[in-house]
Structure 1
């Protein structure tokens, strides 16, 4: 930056004394800025850029670069820190959760009203119904990924320990593991444990237990290509930084962003990062519902039918590839509203 300042001053045929007088800055400071022995403040940089007609973006990038280098120096973790900071800055600069549309806000208000009504019903009865809904969630989440167990068969496998003729061992394990993953979430919430990266790893370990043991709980170490080539997951080396940036964002926004927007956004970003070779869909839905349950909302269960599945994938793809999060957040909000209404009707009967 020192060269940038000196060349711009000389180009305008100004002496350091004249610059100092025009800006009300000590002449000695101007000289130190140009020698590199002193760094100007942001306010001083703006004044210098204006007077010397230096492109504002150019001088700010130069000033920030030197400020960063001065702070982190040659620290062995400097590059990792920079990559993590880059991802967090990108994520925090996204407008996806900055503004809430009128339609979405109205829907969120209706959901919160329905949630408040649900709290007035007997807890024991509501809990017994919730247990049935968890089995349904396990069935639906596995169905989305191709599991052929029916809802009744899923219930028999989970609650009766039965094996279903003609169904693979993998399909049985998917049902059992997913139900264990829900119990893991419930225990974490009961103990007021903070949500973070370890939960992503633990949930992945649980859902792939006995199915793909070599992959369970491990980020992918190879680049992958998605069938739909409209987006490319990050490189394996960047996964830890992406996940760290995501949960940093979550911590910063968990008390200010509506839980449904928060949950949908974290789910979408996890899928976009695609940290695992297999299991990204299930893990991201579990994390989404972890956040909802944490805030007192019931599980947002995407029903097992082709229309719902197609709409789920379509809105998720739009959120990832076009940076338009509204349609996916609206989809999750609508799912949550329907589930809340159904739960309320069932409890009242």
Structure 2
């Protein structure tokens, strides 16, 4: 598998967090409320839901209706929040006790009122991932594959918690057992496993959508899982930092996706030409966080620091290929 990739840093941060437990009830409640909204917002945003973080909070916490948004988008928000509530109720159990019934129940909650005929049921028609070359299993094989998946979970005692959560997510989306809601169900399953093992939930940010999808597809097409595992590890690491800072009495600022930068804005902030930014992006030195409907490439603010790092490495006479290898090695 990929146990060798699980950084000791995650295990050590988990031990550090455990030293602060039990956390004050008010602090736990505040963290739970924030994660409930953030996990709902990000997981739905990855699938195309257009509710912003703030509007997701209004729907989930206040039960408000947002003008101009569809009923389905509202239901996706409330359903995910309810599914997460159910997941939290199971955290005293062990991952090895999870079964098909649990996965079907999560999916049933996710699609309740959206697609009741398919909610909580495996697909019986061929499904394709739009824009992907990945060939999904024949629907007739799905029950057998899911039975095998459940058996694998029962025999997973030797896995590191992050490894188990990441692999369970990967296996479920690769089986792709449902007509819709596979990604949301897989991320909830992943986070249920993490919570059961005392880790905070992993948030796959909206800005990481392209990298996340590309990494999954790369592995599903027979390539390395390394990029995918790094994304999950970084997500867990960010969540551990949030909990640790809260436990230590520090405040944490959460960056909004509205701060993503167009190529011209990024170039201006670092004093470079757009053409150089495009070239470095094409070479794999910079990562595009999002592409708008009109085709604009958007970059996360951390690419400013990445560019500064590239300049330092260039001064050390490293080639762009060597810089790319260096950057990918530390991501």
Q: TM-score, normalised by structure 1?
A: 0.67
Q: Which residue of structure 2 aligns with residue 176 of structure 1?
A: 78
Alignment match of 1:145 (pick from 33, 47, 56): 47
**1:299-346 CA deviation, whole Å, 9 max, x = no partner?**
1011222xx111111221222222522322221111110111123223
Alignment of 1:117-156 (within 5 A): 117-119=19-21, 121-156=23-58
**1:45-81 CA deviation, whole Å, 9 max, x = no partner?**
xxxxxxxxxxxxxxxxxxxxxxxxxxxxxxxxxxxxx
**1:226-260 CA deviation, whole Å, 9 max, x = no partner?**
3344321111111111111112111111x211011
Whole-angstrom distance in 2 between the partners of 1:322 and 1:217 = 29
TM superposition shift of 1:114: 4.4
Give the conservation status (yes or no) of the 8 Å contact 1:220–1:236.
Answer: yes
Whether 1:206 aligns to 2:106 is no
Consecutive unaligned residues in structure 2, runs of 5 or more:
251-331
Structure with more helix by fraction = 1
Give the conservation status (yes or no) of the 8 Å contact 1:239–1:273.
Answer: yes
Whether 1:329 aligns to 2:229 is yes
Whole-angstrom distance in 2 between the partners of 1:289 and 1:215 = 23
Whether 1:248 aligns to 2:145 is no
Whether 1:276 aligns to 2:194 is no
Q: Using a 3 Å threshold, how does the CA distance of structure 1 residues 108 and 220 change in structure 2: closer, same or farther?
A: same
Whole-angstrom distance in 2 between the partners of 1:137 and 1:114 = 23
**1:127-146 CA deviation, whole Å, 9 max, x = no partner?**
32222111111011111111
TM superposition shift of 1:119: 2.8
CA-based RMSD of the aligned residues comes to: 2.0
Give the conservation status (yes or no) of the 8 Å contact 1:115–1:297.
Answer: no
Q: Which residue of structure 2 aligns with residue 85 of structure 1?
A: none
Whole-angstrom distance in 2 between the partners of 1:165 and 1:172 = 11
Q: Which residue of structure 1 aligns with residue 118 of structure 2?
A: 215
Aligned length in residues = 248
Whole-angstrom distance in 2 between the partners of 1:118 and 1:329 = 28
Give the conservation status (yes or no) of the 8 Å contact 2:46–2:209.
Answer: yes
Give the conservation status (yes or no) of the 8 Å contact 2:14–2:240.
Answer: no
Q: Which residue of structure 1 aligns with residue 211 of structure 2?
A: 311
Q: Using a 3 Å threshold, how does the CA distance of structure 1 residues 332 and 163 change in structure 2: closer, same or farther?
A: same
Alignment match of 2:164 (pick from 230, 238, 262): 262
Whole-angstrom distance in 1 between the partners of 2:218 and 2:13 = 24
Give the conservation status (yes or no) of the 8 Å contact 1:178–1:206.
Answer: yes
Whether 1:293 aligns to 2:195 is yes
Whether 1:344 aligns to 2:244 is yes
Give the conservation status (yes or no) of the 8 Å contact 1:218–1:276.
Answer: yes
Q: Using a 3 Å threshold, how does the CA distance of structure 1 residues 150 and 240 change in structure 2: closer, same or farther?
A: same
Q: What secondary structure sits across from 1:100 in the alignment?
A: helix
Q: Using a 3 Å threshold, how does the CA distance of structure 1 residues 336 and 114 change in structure 2: closer, same or farther?
A: farther
Whole-angstrom distance in 1 between the partners of 2:68 and 2:47 = 18
Q: Using a 3 Å threshold, how does the CA distance of structure 1 residues 139 and 219 change in structure 2: closer, same or farther?
A: same
Whether 1:100 aligns to 2:35 is no
Whole-angstrom distance in 2 between the partners of 1:215 and 1:267 = 20
Whole-angstrom distance in 1 between the partners of 2:73 and 2:36 = 17
Give the conservation status (yes or no) of the 8 Å contact 1:114–1:340.
Answer: no
Q: What secondary structure sits across from 1:189 in the alignment?
A: coil
